[in-house]
Structure 1
């Protein structure tokens, strides 16, 4: 038996028979051995429960929890309730870790005494293509010579990321006592439980640290995902509850003024994202709800604090008289900003070439000056002879 469990890995499981084995293999073969693997079956109807049972017989570090289908937030919460490790990691049932991931994260967390460690992720597509997204490159906020094994920061240092779509818990490594001290938990009966959990944890953490390595493979584009939400479902309206939850937290902790622009951007981003993905049954109702939500914000309040793109999203939703009009206007906004980005890239490339040419000319000039200088010294020495 282990004296101390260093890490509790929580795996919510739902109908993942195709990918579950790869996920569990990456956990039982971790170089850090002092771990527990808590698998919470959320009412699977395929062979996932049998796969879990077989793995638990092979490795006594695997703990099994079964429950009726209550969604991923409830499954993560059930695992968190029985976790005993110093630290907690979340792994989705179709993803996997590199084999030394937990060791590196544990070392980073201990050396920094951090409440939360962030790290990098790679996306794995069904075509076997692996993409390295830049969105997890938190090192861009710090100097190149930073030693991340002895460096901590807080949410203000990475302010643009606090409410910028990086909500999932699987690229974060948590100190369990920190989570318990604030009674953080995943909301149940809500479609996007990661969002308020992420914002609350990030803003309450005294010490954040970063491990600048790719430690997690996130599987994209497959039908078995626990988070797959039908477009034509009333659950799409849960996003408004989530936005209210985040806003309430900011106000109750006197943080709204500090993150006002980030919050409004988040609100517009989320409302617009789900507006574009709304099923036919709920399109009219969703647009009306969106207009009502945004009518509480004066345009003069956000105009100067948000980019032109978000101002246009606001005006588009407020002024659209139909769902189709809102979609058409959003497409034109996207095309215009795509064109602007392309033009900006051309300007940047042109400037880069100009700098390169200028640099090459300056190098040649310096070489010439150096050559003239050396020849002058040689001639002077000859005259002395």
Structure 2
């Protein structure tokens, strides 16, 4: 074990017991990894349930578990950044508390680094599954795949990978990172956003010389009652993220190739943000209401409306062209449309 490099597995926890007994499921999964030289960096993000107590029970029986408790700052980016700072391994694996990996996942990822030393990130096959057992997709970096299909090794440059996240993620990457690559950009993004981690993740991908895959399995669960599925004022953040990403992608000269995808998704996010604003408007204080309104208006201003129109045909094109012609009309239309 002494010859093996230390690997840090970072897991963030927030009310994980209350949300679904995820301390038990995650620890039982992680502690049975066949790769043994691991430190488990467990960030308790200000949980108010028994999450911390349950983590301490596991830590009593396994010295590899390191628990760090921080104040909850309402955004996941800060707990990920905290784990990023505390991880001391040569390699880092980011793991969601409500997911599952096979017992040999970390070992297979590391073995792939040995076989392909040019890599900076190794991703297992990502199985996206509903909690009722139904599988949504199985992806091997790009292609929708099957676990029964013969595994095919692939590798791509980090620049190609970030390019293929413009507008939407056409890649599926989790797994093991070289620490230098993983820490190249802090998850503590310059402003709090619901999905700031998706901005940081893209920047980290770009730092990777090459990204490869292995035949280990990471199962990501979709929970119908998760915060990501719930209607929330925070989802207005998506329009702010689109403004920031558009600028980033333009600066990196990777926007034009996928402009149509990006702008169509940004339009959908804008419409959803307007609907959310009207739904929660009565709950917001005047100052917050103005801030969110300005975000939405700025999103409309930056949207390439002509590009969006090209995505529609016939009556749908005429309908959306009218909506896009004037911000006030668009904003008021979704105030009254149910």
TM-score relative to the length of structure 2: 0.77
Computed over aligned residues only, the root mean square deviation of the Cα atoms, in angstroms, reads 3.8
Query: Structure 2 residue aligned with 1:156, among 155, 160, 170?
Result: 160
State the SS of the aligned residue for 2:40.
Answer: strand
Q: In 2, are the aligned partners of 1:200 and 1:249 still within 8 Å (CA)?
A: no
Q: How does 1:69-108 map to 2 (within 5 A)?
A: 69-70=72-73, 71-108=75-112
The Cα offsets for residues 127-149 of structure 1, whole Å up to 9 and x where unpaired, read as: x32314156661469xx99841x
Q: In 2, are the aligned partners of 1:5 and 1:84 still within 8 Å (CA)?
A: no
Flag the 1:97–1:277 CA change in 2: closer, same or farther, 3 A.
farther
The Cα offsets for residues 229-252 of structure 1, whole Å up to 9 and x where unpaired, read as: 76353x333223322332332244
Query: Structure 1 residue aligned with 2:177, among 157, 174, 177?
Result: 174
Q: How does 1:186-225 map to 2 (within 5 A)?
A: 186-187=188-189, 189-222=192-225, 225=226
Stretches of structure 2 lacking an aligned partner (at least 5 in a row): 283-288
Query: Structure 2 residue aligned with 1:293, among 299, 309, 316?
Result: 299
Task: Write the distance in 1 (CA, Å) between the matches of 2:318 and 2:47.
Answer: 43
Select the structure that is richer in strand.
Answer: 2
Select the structure that is richer in helix.
Answer: 1
Aligned residue in 2 for 1:138: 142
Flag the 1:72–1:251 CA change in 2: closer, same or farther, 3 A.
same
- Cα deviation for residue 221 of structure 1 reads 1.8
Aligned residue in 1 for 2:285: none
Aligned residue in 1 for 2:241: 242
State the SS of the aligned residue for 1:78.
Answer: helix
Aligned residue in 1 for 2:324: 318
Task: Write the distance in 2 (CA, Å) between the matches of 1:200 and 1:311.
Answer: 35
Q: In 1, are the aligned partners of 2:157 and 2:211 still within 8 Å (CA)?
A: yes
Task: Write the distance in 2 (CA, Å) between the matches of 1:38 and 1:295.
Answer: 42
Q: In 2, are the aligned partners of 1:20 and 1:93 still within 8 Å (CA)?
A: yes
Residues 1:15 and 2:15 are matched in the alignment: yes
- Cα deviation for residue 163 of structure 1 reads 3.8
Bigger Rg, which one: 1
How many corresponding residue pairs? 319
Aligned residue in 2 for 1:35: 38
- Cα deviation for residue 253 of structure 1 reads 3.4
Q: In 2, are the aligned partners of 1:168 and 1:198 still within 8 Å (CA)?
A: no
Aligned residue in 1 for 2:269: 270
Query: Structure 2 residue aligned with 1:55, among 47, 53, 58?
Result: 58
Q: In 1, are the aligned partners of 2:92 and 2:176 still within 8 Å (CA)?
A: yes
Task: Write the distance in 2 (CA, Å) between the matches of 1:167 and 1:151.
Answer: 12
TM-score relative to the length of structure 1: 0.68
Flag the 1:58–1:163 CA change in 2: closer, same or farther, 3 A.
farther
Query: Structure 2 residue aligned with 1:65, among 61, 65, 68?
Result: 68
- Cα deviation for residue 33 of structure 1 reads 0.9
